[in-house]
Structure 1
Amino acid sequence: MVTEGSVQFLALAYVADNVTESRRVSVFGIISGIESASFVFGNFSTRFLSTSATFQVAASMAVISLVYMRVFLPESMMNNSVCAKNTETTCLLEKAPTKKWKLFKNLPSVDDTICLLRTSSTFSKAAAVAFFISVADVGIHASLNYYLKAQFHFNKDQFADLMIIVGIAGSISQMILMPILTPLLGEDKMLSIGLFFSCTHMVLYSTAWAPWVPYAVDMISVVDTFSMPCLRSIASKQIGPNEQGKAQGCITGICSFANIVSPLAFSPLTALFLSDSAPFYFPGFSIMCSGFAAMIAFIQSIMIRAATPPKCCSFDNSISVEP
């Protein structure tokens, strides 16, 4: 669990090192789609495995992933890189003013995170969007099972069906639709579209009036899964090639902080409105509040303008600066 969060952002940083900016959001989407597909396969396979066998298979897959990485993935660190000045993708940590002292001497990554947030307004807005959408996502996941069980008496099989629907919809969206739509609309608009439908998804869940509504609402996942790959791509374009790991780690750290804060707020709220002592009758109120958090992320995303790939930056094995 300690290293679980680092796997994703390091994978995205590795991809950012090896993929051009114009194709980055599509590749990020494909990676997210593969994750959704593996999520579906994992949930489906547990129906045929015993509890002990499930853990054994999961551990075996982790070992296979490690061996594959060591054998087939070359190191992506670039020895030399030059960014032209006066572009938003200039290496932010290099152009930031040098400090005579550091607030966290033994934690340079904390200083780097603060520097990234202060140097690029686009990156700071992306970080704010990441925080609120993570609060919303974790909030609905903390509340949804209790809400559906209390309202419609859902059991574990129905919960699994909903998870599989979301996974299939996410796979189709990220692996097929995103590579087609992103070049046409742009990742900033795709981010806003994904967040808008994410908000709609949560609001409809909170007002579900029949057992079939959650199944229909989950089909919106085809659209609302656009948000995170687009957000990651926008963030990656704001920094230099040697800072991709720090940027993705910063976004992941903010999301992890939201994962801590959100259950502390939404779990008691869910318990209150599902109990007889609720101030008013609205069992899905906590999910509606998750929708409000997604709405804040949507409003913030409207103010983001994704940077176009710079034409004046070149990265190769020799140091050269274009005039």
Structure 2
Amino acid sequence: MVMEGLTGLSHLFVTMFLTGFGGVIAIPAITDITMAALCPGQDECSLAIYLTGFQQAMIGVGSVVTTPLIGNLSDRYGRKALLTLPLTVSVIPQVILAYSRDTKFFYVYYVVRTLAAIAGEGSSHCLALAYVADKVPDGRRTTAFGILAGVGSAAFVGGTLAARFLPTALIFQVSAVFSMIGLVYMRIFLKDSVPGGGMRQPLLKEAEEPCLEQCADDSSNRTTGTFKKLPSLGDVICLLKCSPTFSQAAVVFLFNSLADGGLMSILLYYLKARFQYNKNQFADLMMITGIGATLSQLVFMPILVPLVGEEKLLSTGLLVSCINIFIYSISWSGWVPYALAGFSVFGVFVRPSICSIASKQVGPTEQGMVQGCLSGISSIANIIAPLIFSPMTALFLSEEAPFNFPGFSLMCLGLILMTAFFLSLMIRADPPIANDKVSSNRCAPTLA
């Protein structure tokens, strides 16, 4: 019963598993490689924290433009055609470190990784969500999003398990091979989900104006020309105005993404400085988290969604994540992060729930746009969070800290999640859109 309506998604799941495995296997090793390249023999390195935060911010700046753009283009030209780009560019950085991990090659990797992530880091997930929304009816969409997230978590577990036992010299070679296999598999087996998609029109061909122009007050003055039908700020503002539910979900998503972005940029360096974690310990911790997330998304979410709904799952996930980070910030021993890792079974409810709530607020021909909009919000958070929390973490881990609280930046992230939790309590989902355009359901009447 759970799998009913998911026919046709198996090739997407395989693709996301292969590419996810290829990307995740490198994560436990990259902190040690960065430290070895920039600060050999040290457990605390402010330069590594700053560079990682700067890279994440630059990726966020680029992704704000590229992810909504790619998501919107996929509504017209097909998910498969646009998915090829992020999967292709993700291979290149892994190939560089597979060749050499010397300092000069690390800097080349750093630049190429930044550019590749701008083009593809958020886009592949955005397109996968849009593909699922194309194939699955509203009533089962949260379950399908949860299963997609579970496939990603399974890839996370497999990748961290492989990283735990593979020598560093082989990790990036295996990563590059799996990423390439995922790309080839997708091109051969995945069928496009957009009827008539697949580049029947050239990307530079002029087309009719976006359907959301009815919402925008200045739609009659919209410029035309190259790359028409691309998302504009007016389209995003229109979408936010048309659906209060989407607006509330977007704000919650912003705060959650701020916390996630900050955690991503600082947590591994915090653990290395506080408890001298290395590649194997990172892999162990990530594997425990991934196993819990996989079980939660593949087993618990399909059972809980019909019983309690996306809104309550969202609030539960945010509350548990908030408590988790608060305890992280006061960790007194190296075993505490291991004990907290099991609570990931609740935290992973957040993103699939928000994506499902948002997807039900637009029509079937606007799924790429709405998922691209959410990815753009996440990218904005990834600009802001590292610029704030990377310097803060470096300061409180150094001898110049204003007071002795190494986990102060984590405490601040917990407060952000607490804000997201209280905001999530106010979400009241509107009935799903049944026709093709959000504008015809909600926007036009509000302008009458």
TM-score scaled by structure 2?
Answer: 0.63
Of 140, 149, 152, the residue aligned with 1:32 is: 149
Partner Cα distance (1:296, 1:92) in 2: 34
Partner Cα distance (1:270, 1:110) in 2: 36
Of 246, 250, 256, the residue aligned with 1:123 is: 246
C-alpha displacement of 1:19: 0.2
**Residue deviations 1:106-133 (CA, integer Å, cap 9, x gap):** 6731232232122212112211111111
Partner Cα distance (1:211, 1:104) in 2: 58
2:404 aligned with 1:281? yes
Identical-pair percentage: 52
Higher alpha-carbon deviation: 300-309 or 278-287: 300-309
Contact 1:92–1:120 (CA under 8 A) maintained in structure 2: no
Query: What does 1:226-237 align with in structure 2 at a 5 Å threshold?
Result: 226-237=349-360
* Cα 1:218/1:116, change in 2 over 3 Å: same
* Cα 1:52/1:277, change in 2 over 3 Å: closer
* Cα 1:104/1:162, change in 2 over 3 Å: farther
2:384 aligned with 1:264? no
2:181 aligned with 1:64? yes
Q: Which amino acid aligns with 1:93?
A: L
Contact 2:163–2:283 (CA under 8 A) maintained in structure 1: no
C-alpha displacement of 1:95: 5.1
2:126 aligned with 1:4? no
Query: What does 1:203-218 align with in structure 2 at a 5 Å threshold?
Result: 203-218=326-341
Alignment match, 1:114: 237
Partner Cα distance (1:35, 1:93) in 2: 32
2:191 aligned with 1:74? yes
C-alpha displacement of 1:271: 1.4
Task: Give the root-mean-square deviation of aligned CA atoms.
Answer: 2.3
Q: Which amino acid aligns with 1:144?
A: L
Give unmatched runs, 5+ long, in structure 1: 80-90, 316-323
Higher relative contact order (CA 8 A, sep 6+): 1
How many matched pairs? 302
Contact 2:123–2:372 (CA under 8 A) maintained in structure 1: yes
Q: Secondary structure at the match of 1:238?
A: coil
Partner Cα distance (1:283, 1:302) in 2: 31
Of 248, 251, 257, the residue aligned with 2:374 is: 251
Q: Which amino acid aligns with 1:266?
A: F
C-alpha displacement of 1:314: 6.2
Higher alpha-carbon deviation: 27-36 or 126-135: 126-135
* Cα 1:92/1:173, change in 2 over 3 Å: farther
* Cα 1:103/1:221, change in 2 over 3 Å: farther
Higher alpha-carbon deviation: 68-77 or 154-163: 68-77
Contact 1:78–1:242 (CA under 8 A) maintained in structure 2: no
* Cα 1:308/1:114, change in 2 over 3 Å: closer
C-alpha displacement of 1:186: 0.3
Of 79, 88, 93, the residue aligned with 2:212 is: 93
Q: Secondary structure at the match of 1:154?
A: coil
Partner Cα distance (1:47, 1:292) in 2: 33
Partner Cα distance (1:104, 1:203) in 2: 50
Give unmatched runs, 5+ long, in structure 2: 1-116, 197-209, 437-448
Alignment match, 2:131: 14
Partner Cα distance (1:104, 1:121) in 2: 29
**Residue deviations 1:260-303 (CA, integer Å, cap 9, x gap):** 21111001111121222222221111001111111111122111
Partner Cα distance (2:299, 2:342) in 1: 15
2:266 aligned with 1:143? yes
Of 290, 294, 298, the residue aligned with 2:413 is: 290
Query: What does 1:167-182 align with in structure 2 at a 5 Å threshold?
Result: 167-182=290-305
